[in-house]
Amino acid sequence: MTLRRRFIPYALLTPGALWLIIFFLIPMYFMGEMALRSGALETGGFTFTWEWSNFSEALDGRGEQIVRTFFYTGTATVLALLIAYPLAYAIALKAGRWKLLLLFAVIAPFFTTYLIRTIAWKTILADPSPVVDLLKTLQVVPEDGRVLATGGDVIAGLTYNFMPFMILPIYASLERIDLSLIEAAKDLYASAREAFLRVTLPLTAPGIVAGVLLTFIPAFGDYVNAALLGGTNQAMIGNKIQSLYLVERDYPEAAALSFLMMAAVLITVLIYIRLAGTEAFMGDEDEED
Amino acid sequence: MEAATTTAPRVRAGAGARAWKWLREHALNIYAGLALAYMLIPIVVIAVFSFGETPRDRLNFAINDGFTLEYWENAFSITELTDAMLTSIELAALSTVISTVIGTLMALALVRYRFIGRRGSNLLIVLPMATPEIVIGAALLSMLIIYNISLGFQTLLIAHVMFSISFVVVVVRSRLIGFDRSLEEAAADLGATPVESFRYVTLPLLAPGVMAAALLAFALSIDDFVISNFNSGTTETFPLYIFGVQLRGIPVQVNVLATMLFLVTVVAIMLVLWQQRRAERMASVRPEPVV
C-alpha cells in the first residue's frame, strides 16, 4: 500500500512532465545542435560540424536591431508599470464592490485576438485620427509628423499588448496588503506619501518585480507589433529570427540568433533580480501571516 | 506616487483653489479612468469598425463612410476565413481538453504529495512561462526539421498543449492550495470510498478552478500566433489567416468574428466567475469555521 502511495504522484505527473520534456526541453537541445550545423538547404541540407561561426554571423550587423529591441522593450515595460500600478491600486483599494467588475473590464480586451488588437492600434494611430490630432495639438507629435512606422507606435503596441501581465501580479500583491498596516503608519504620523512609500510600495514590490519580468520576457521576443505597426526601420530581433526561420530558411543562423536572444533575456533577468529581487522577495516573506 | 493625492488638504478660499483641491483629491480616480479607457479603446474600435461601410469590403483605417449591417449578415461568407476559424476552434477545443486533464493531474501531484523530484517538476512548469514565445516556437521547429516531421494540425496541437500545460497547473494549483481536506476526511468517515469521495467531494469543489484553467487554455490557444506561425505548415488558424491577409487588406468580417469571439468569451468568463462564487458559498457552509 505504501509503495503504491509513493508511486501515485509520479503516475499523476508523468503525462504532463513527458509532454514538457519531449516538446519543450529536448527541442531546446536540438536548437543548440542546429545552431552548430553548416550547409545549405539546396545542397542536401545541414550537417553538424561544430560551426561556431553561426553565432558571430548571427550578431554581425545586427547591433542596431539589438539595441532597438532592448530600448523598445525597456520603454514599454516602464510605461506599462506606470499605467498599471495606479490602475491596479485604484481597483484593489478604492473600487469597493466594483472591484471584480473593473478588474474584469481591464482584462476583457485581452480575450480578443492579439493580432486584431494590434491592428486596432493601427487604426487608432493612423493619420488622420482623433488621437493623432490630439497628440499634434499637444505638440507631442510635430504638425507634419505621424505616429505609424516611427517606433513610438511599436512601443505603444508592446505596452498595450502585455499589460495584463503587469496588472495582474501588482493587483494580487495590492489585494493581499493588510490595510491595518497603512492605518498604523498613519497613526504613527506618516503622511499619506510616506505611508505609501514606506509601507504600500515595499509590500507590493514582489508584485512589481513579477510584473516587470512577465512583461519584459514576452515583449522582448515579440515581433508582431514591430511587423504590424512598425516600418522597415523598426524591426526587432524577433522579426529577424522569424524571417531567418520561415522566409530565408537559414536554420543554423536562425537557431544561433534564438539562442543568443534567450541568453540575453536570461542575463537581463538575472541582473534585474540581483538588483531588485532579493529585497523585494524578502518583504514578501516577512509579511506572510 | 498617486496615493499622495489623498492627503487631507487644508481648506482654502477661491474657486481656483477649490478646483485644484478637487483635482488633487480625485487625481488617482481620473488617472485610473484614463488608464481604463486606454485598455478598452481597441475593443470599441474593433466593434465599431465591424459596422463600418467600406468601398472594397476591406478594413480601411479611416472614420468616414456609413454604418452597415452587411458584414454581420455575411459573417461567414469568406470561406478561407470561416475555415481558419473552425480550425482554430477545433484546435483550441482539443488542446484545452488534453492540457486541462494533464495539467490538473500534475497540480494534484504537486500540491498533495511530497516526493523526490518535486522541485525539478516545479522548475519544468515555470520554464515555458519564462521563455519568450518565439524561442519556444523556434526550438520546436528545429527539432521537427531535424526529424523531418511534416508540419500541420498535429504539430500545432502538440505545441498548443505544451504551452497551455503550465498555465493550467498554476491556476488549478492555486485552487488546490486553499482546499479544505477535512471535507474529504468527513466523506471517508461517512463511509465513502476514495473514488466516491473524489467524485462527490473533491471534483465539485475543484470544478471552478479546473473550469477557469480550461477557459484560460482555450483563450491562449485560440489567440496564439507566434508559436503557431512556426509550427503550422500550411494549416491556417484564425490568427495566421489575419497575418496572411493583413498586407492585402483585412476583410471586415475579421472584425465581426473577433467581436463574436469576444462576446462568447466574456459570457463564458461570467459563467465561470458565477460558478466560482457559488462553489465558494457551498464550501463555506460547514459547522466549524476554519481559521
Instruction: Supply the pLDDT for residue A151.
Output: 80
| Separation of alpha carbons A43 and A99, rounded Å | 62
What confidence category does residue A287 fall into, taking pLDDT thresholds of 50, 70 and 90? very low
Rounded to whole angstroms, the maximal C-alpha distance in chain B is 79
Cβ-defined contact of B3 to A262 (cutoff 8 Å)? no
What are the cell numbers at A241?
529570427
Rg (CA), chain A: 23
Q: Closest Cα of chain A to B20: distance in Å?
A: 18
Please say whether the beta carbons of A29 and A255 come within 8 A. no
Tens digit of each residue's pLDDT (9 = 90 or more) over A161-208: 999 889 988 998 898 888 888 888 888 888 888 888 888 888 888 889
The verdict on a CB contact (< 8 Å) between A108 and B43 is yes
pLDDT of B23 higher than 90: no
B14 is written with which cell numbers?
A: 477661491
| A23 Cα to chain B: minimum distance (Å) | 6
Asked if A90 lies within 8 A of B131 by C-beta distance, the reply is no
Could A218 and B135 be called an inter-chain contact, meaning their C-beta atoms sit closer than 8 Å? Answer: no
* Interface-testing mutation among B134, B156, B198, with chain A (most A C-beta atoms within 10 A): B134
Whether B171 contacts B212, CB under 8 Å: yes
pLDDT tens, position by position, B151-202: 999 999 999 999 999 999 988 988 787 777 788 888 888 888 888 888 888 8
The one-letter code for the residue type at B118 is R
| pLDDT value of position A8 | 85
Residues of A in contact with B29 (CB under 8 A): 90, 94
Q: Do B106 and A13 count as a contact with CB atoms less than 8 A apart?
A: yes
Cβ-defined contact of B143 to A27 (cutoff 8 Å): yes
Looking at chain A, the whole-number percentage of residues with pLDDT higher than 70 is 92
CB-side neighbour CA atoms (13 Å) of B174: 10
CB atoms within 10 A of CB B160: 26
Per-residue pLDDT band at B2 (split at 50, 70, 90): very low
Among A104-118, A235-249, B37-51, B275-289, which stretch is predicted with the lowest mean pLDDT?
B275-289
How far apart CA B252 and CA B61 sit, in angstroms, is: 11
Among candidates B278, B104, B244, B122, which has minimal Cα distance to A227? B244
pLDDT tens track for A73-86: 999 999 999 999 99
Element holding B286 (H helix, E strand): none
Name which of B7, B139, B165 is nearest A192 (Cβ-Cβ).
Answer: B7
Of A11-15, B63-67, B279-283, the one with minimum mean pLDDT is B63-67
Residues 172-201 of B with CB under 8 A from A: none
CA distances from B140 to A28, A206, B104, B158 (A): 7, 32, 24, 10
Chain A contact for B138, CB < 8 A? yes
Output the pTM of the full model: 0.84
Question: Of B273, B32, B6, B4, whose CA–CA distance to A88 is shortest?
Answer: B32
Is there a cis peptide before residue A128, judged by omega within 30 degrees of 0? yes
| pLDDT: which is higher, B90 or B282 | B90
Chain B residues lying within 8 Å of A16, measured CB to CB? 102-103, 105-106, 165, 169
C-alpha torsion angle, residues A105, A110, A115, A119 (rounded to 10)? 20
Phi, psi of A254 (to 5 degrees): -60, -45
Please write the tens of the pLDDT for every residue from A132-149: 777 777 777 776 667 777
Condensed to tens digits (0 to 9), the pLDDT of residues B244-288 reads 888 788 888 888 888 898 888 888 888 877 877 777 776 666 555
pLDDT at A283: 40
Its CATH architecture, for the domain B78-284, is: Orthogonal Bundle (1.10)
Residues B97, B282: contact at Cβ < 8 Å?
no
Q: Of the segments B66-70, B229-233, B273-277, which one has the largest average pLDDT value?
A: B229-233
| Confidence (pLDDT) at B133 | 92
- Using CA atoms, how far apart are residues B275 and A248, in angstroms rounded to an integer? 50
From B195's Cα to the closest Cα of chain A, the distance in A is: 14
Task: Work out the mean pLDDT of chain B and round it to a whole number.
Answer: 84
Instruction: With beta carbons under 8 A apart, name residues in chain A contacting B261.
Output: 111-113
Q: Please report the DSSP string for B195-260 in residue order.
A: HHHIIIIIHHHHHHHHHHHHHHHHHHHHH--HHHHHH-TT---HHHHHHHHTTT--BHHHHHHHHH
Give the residue-averaged pLDDT of A230-240: 86
The minimum CA-CA distance between B127 and chain A, rounded to whole Å, is: 9
Burial (Cβ within 10 Å: 0-12, 13-18, ≥19) of residue A167: buried
- Read off the pLDDT band of B99 (50, 70, 90): very high
A177 in contact with B, Cβ within 8 Å: no
**Domain ranges within chain B, ordered by starting residue:** 3-49, 78-284
Q: Which three cell numbers stand for residue A149?
A: 512606422
Q: The domain at A62-287 falls in which architecture?
A: Orthogonal Bundle (1.10)
Place of cell 543562423: A253
Q: How far is B15 from chain A (nearest CA, A)?
A: 25
A289, pLDDT greater than 50: no
* Residue with the larger pLDDT of the pair B64 and A236: A236
